[in-house]
Amino acid sequence: ETGVTQTPRHLVMGMTNKKSLKCEQHLGHNAMYWYKQSAKKPLELMFVYNFKEQTENNSVPSRFSPECPNSSHLFLHLHTLQPEDSALYLCASSQDRTLFGEEQYFGPGTRLTVT
């Protein structure tokens, strides 16, 4: 495996379900991110982890719960979601070597549909 991988690629869940999204990066990076992409809206940053520590929570509802056990793996736990949470969820990673922003590499995304 190379780059950033995400599983599952597609997920349909009911509002009462609990599911998890998984992201793994094979780039040796130290920062990982969750983004939400909805139609006609800019990419929306949800969470940032640097060296396994959460450094950004962009006012995300508590029904989204991130977990970062190590610098290579990132999870997004989902529970009691709403239909408006249906979107493409993207994971990204970066080296985290500069204070001035650096390029991020994206995984293929998970297309989530909440019914």
Partner 1 sequence: QKEVEQNSGPLSVPEGAIASLNCTYSDRGSQSFFWYRQYSGKSPELIMFIYSNGDKEDGRFTAQLNKASQYVSLLIRDSQPSDSATYLCAVHTGGGNKLTFGTGTQLKVEL
Binding site for partner 1 (CB under 8 A): 31, 33, 40-43, 45, 48, 50, 55-56, 88, 90, 94, 96, 99-109
> Judging by beta carbons within 10 Å of its beta carbon (0-12, 13-18, 19+), is residue 97 exposed, middle or buried?
exposed
Residue-wise DSSP of 87-106: EEEEEEEE----SS----EE
Residue found by looking up tokens 């249906």 in the block: 86
Closest by CA position to 6, among listed 108, 111, 112, 113: 108
Would you say 18 or 57 has its CB closer to partner 1? 57
Q: Please report how close the Cβ of residue 80 comes to partner 1 at its closest, in angstroms.
A: 27
Would you say 18 or 51 has its CB closer to partner 1? 51
Would you say 78 or 109 has its CB closer to partner 1? 109
Would you say 29 or 81 has its CB closer to partner 1? 29
Q: Please report how close the Cβ of residue 46 comes to partner 1 at its closest, in angstroms.
A: 11
Q: Please report how close the Cβ of residue 75 comes to partner 1 at its closest, in angstroms.
A: 18
The conformational region for residue 95 under phi > 0 = left, psi -120 to 50 = alpha, else beta, is alpha
